[in-house]
Amino acid sequence: MSTATRYEDVHVPLGEDFLEIRESVRRICADYPGAYWRQLEAEEAYPTEFVQALTNAGYLAALIPEEYGGAGLPLRAAAVILEEIHASGCNAGACHAQMYIMGTLLRHGSEEQKQKYLPSIASGALRLQAFGVTEPTSGTDTTKLKTRAVREGDCYRLYGQKVWTSRALHSDLMLVLARTTPLEDVTKKTEGLSVFLVDLRETRGNGLEIKPLAAMINHNTTEVFFDGARVPVENLIGEEGKGFRYILDGMNAERILVSSEALGDGRWFIKTASNYACQRVVFDRPIGQNQGIQFPIARAHAEIEAADLMLRKAAALFAAGLPCGAAANMGKMLASEASWHAAEACLQTHGGFGYAREYDVERKWRETRLMQIAPISTNLILAYIGEHILGMPRSY
């Protein structure tokens, strides 16, 4: 079968798909209104109750196959879950990684590793929510990371530092990307990197230190320091030196899922702005009657709908096992920018009240701005489009 024919067989669902899941997620989120999230921010706390509710409903195990205790749902269903969480005014940043970090273990781990960990991750007995990749000096140039894993008999010893490692203080397990072969000793700079499953319950305080990193939004992010932390050899995921490929393998799924959160944010902003514009009366008429208020909201709505279609395409290609990098990257860019335009329109519509915490606009405004930076920045996506889709020279 030709590639063209295979692409023709990919069907992109339109409308509100997975209606039962959407309604169920909305009911859960209704128990966690804006006041709940504002209190968490004030205390810089973790939404334990919210995460537990999602766990009990089985939504954080959506992508784990049924044979390992999960729901075995397609990526599109997981995207719908995250979209509805954000469209309801909540935030999935505290737990979304429980959905997709396990993908590296699922696709590249041994059967013994999968049997040992996945059922407990699916039930929520174990949390795998932290991924140590980014470092202070290397940033997005993953091949230049400096964290080392040195083999010593039946274990590896980890040395180095990770930053922006969210949820490490609220996770039992963490995936870590480290260099097992020095950069100068490899033919390609993408070689010599390995992925390890680190049990934080055993290593924290034993060569591993985690420090909270205060940030603009309450994502419970941290810095992680390794000073000889012991990791058993059996906790190496896949083959030594092949870790970079394993990481790339899961990036498209991550981008599709995080972009779905941006869509949800955009829908929240548009609904909130539209309602306020209809209710707020100034100069004896609703402010939504003014084109200066109405048009930015309407444009943001159109942009959100367009981004939604691109992400549906990306999820359909992913499900079909076809290349989806272009759609995933473009969907990420379109969704993050559409959500930001909706946020700006919503804040402007509310005027001074947009800065009042009780309206939740300023909180969501801060949260959605991150989408243009992580897990990949807009400029990197544009570079990808220019080089890999349009065939232009590599940009610097």
Q: What is the pLDDT of residues 27-43, one digit of tens each?
A: 999 999 999 999 999 99
What was the pLDDT predicted at 48?
96
Options 1.10.540.10, 3.40.50.150, 3.40.50.300, 3.20.20.190; which CATH number does 3-123 get?
Answer: 1.10.540.10
Task: Give the pLDDT confidence of 122-161 residue by residue, as tens digits.
Answer: 999 999 999 999 999 887 788 889 999 999 999 999 999 9
Instruction: Kindly indicate the confidence band of residue 5, based on its pLDDT and cuts at 50, 70 and 90.
Output: very low
Please state the domain extents for the chain: 3-123, 128-241, 245-389
Rounded CA-CA distance 8/11 in Å is 8
Rounded CA-CA distance 109/65 in Å is 14
User: How many angstroms separate the Cα of 296 from the Cα of each of 284, 303, 345?
Assistant: 22, 11, 6
In single-letter form, the type of residue at position 328 comes to: A
Position 220 pLDDT exceeds 70: yes
**Residues across the chain:** 396
User: Where do we find the tokens 């049990």?
Assistant: 199
Mean pLDDT in residue range 331-340: 98
Rounded CA-CA distance 51/21 in Å is 16
Task: Give the pLDDT confidence of 51-71 residue by residue, as tens digits.
Answer: 999 999 999 999 999 999 999
pTM of the model: 0.94
Rounded CA-CA distance 294/274 in Å is 8
128-241 is classed CATH 2.40.110.10:
yes
In single-letter form, the type of residue at position 353 comes to: F
User: Where do we find the tokens 């490692």?
Assistant: 165
Query: Please, which residues have CB within 8 angstroms of residue 236's CB and are 6 or more apart in sequence?
Result: 156, 194, 195, 196
CB 63 within 8 A of CB 73: yes
b/e string for 66-78 if b means 16 or more Cβ within 10 A? Answer: eebbbbebebbbb
User: How many angstroms separate the Cα of 115 from the Cα of each of 66, 196, 257?
Assistant: 12, 17, 25
What was the pLDDT predicted at 141?
81
- Please state, for a pLDDT cut of 70, what percent of the chain lies above it: 98
Cβ of 21: how many Cβ atoms within 10 Å? 19
E strand or H helix at 84? helix 75-87
Options 2.60.40.10, 1.20.140.10, 3.40.50.2300, 3.40.190.10; which CATH number does 245-389 get?
Answer: 1.20.140.10
E strand or H helix at 162? strand 155-163
Instruction: Please choose, from the candidates 271, 266, 164, the residue with its C-alpha nearest in 3D space to the C-alpha of residue 216.
Output: 164
Instruction: Kindly indicate the confidence band of residue 22, based on its pLDDT and cuts at 50, 70 and 90.
Output: very high
Instruction: Kindly indicate the confidence band of residue 4, based on its pLDDT and cuts at 50, 70 and 90.
Output: very low
CB burial class (10 A; 0-12, 13-18, 19+) of residue 214? exposed
CB 333 within 8 A of CB 311: no
CB 346 within 8 A of CB 236: no
